[in-house]
Amino acid sequence: MHLGEEFNVLGNWFIIHFTENNGMAFGMEFAGETGKVILTLFRIGAIIAIGWYLNHLIKQKAGFTLLMSISLIFTGALGNILDSVFYGVLFSESNFYQVAAFLPETGGYASLLHGKVVDMFYFPIINSYYPDWFPYLGGKDFIFFRPVFNIADSAITVGVFILIFLQGNIFVKQKKSEEKKAKENQPINA
């Protein structure tokens, strides 16, 4: 697909829309090219920390729900980082009406750590206008849900929602499990 190309999957409610962003939510940027490298290195550090924590949880035989949520966050973050680190090296520039080439002879459109993240899922469920009486936005377009995102973003979001909404169950069970293991490992006094 070329940049901006789209096709409808479920009418106007679910659209595959090819776009790229610099790796932050809603296409935001952080301090230009230097900021991109700093942000990418920070994310790599975060992935290493999440990977270490996930490994620790596995060794501790943590509950399935906690492992699943942390795994979703880890794999989502890893997916976006892979785009950000390698996509610019592996592909030519995506333009409107021009499909990017894989491994172009002239090299990719960006150096290592400067690639863009590919997004493709678009769900404009409600497409309307703000009422004229609405402060500041009256008469302007209103689209819900406007962001275009990818599978990695979805994995991170689902993992975080599981942690938020099931935290009581997840962490209470985890604490009880750790207390039980500690009691089992206590030496018996004769």
pLDDT tens across the length of the chain (190 residues): 888 889 999 888 899 999 888 766 656 666 677 778 888 888 899 999 999 999 999 998 888 899 999 999 999 999 989 988 898 899 998 888 889 999 999 888 888 888 888 899 999 888 899 999 989 998 899 888 888 889 999 999 999 999 998 877 776 666 666 667 777 777 766 5
What does the pLDDT read at residue 172?
67
What does the pLDDT read at residue 24?
67
Predicted model pTM: 0.79
What does the pLDDT read at residue 174?
65
Is residue 134 in some structural domain?
yes
As for how many domains the chain has, the answer is 1
What does the pLDDT read at residue 37?
83
CB 4 within 8 A of CB 100: no
What does the pLDDT read at residue 114?
85
Is residue 173 in some structural domain?
yes
Is residue 76 in some structural domain?
yes
Q: Say how many residues make up the chain.
A: 190
Domain that holds residue 126: 6-184
Is residue 190 in some structural domain?
no
**Residue 12 host element (H or E):** none
Is residue 105 in some structural domain?
yes
* Number of Cα atoms under 13 Å in the Cβ half of residue 14: 3
Is residue 189 in some structural domain?
no
The gap from C-alpha 176 to its chain's centroid, in whole angstroms, comes to 31
Q: Which two tokens stand for residue 41?
A: 């290195």
Listed in sequence order, the DSSP H helices in 12-165 are 32-59, 64-90, 151-165
CB 39 within 8 A of CB 23: yes
Is residue 68 in some structural domain?
yes
What does the pLDDT read at residue 72?
96
Cα–Cα dist 59/53, whole Å: 10
What does the pLDDT read at residue 123?
92
Active-site amino acid positions: 119, 153
What does the pLDDT read at residue 39?
83
The gap from C-alpha 52 to its chain's centroid, in whole angstroms, comes to 19
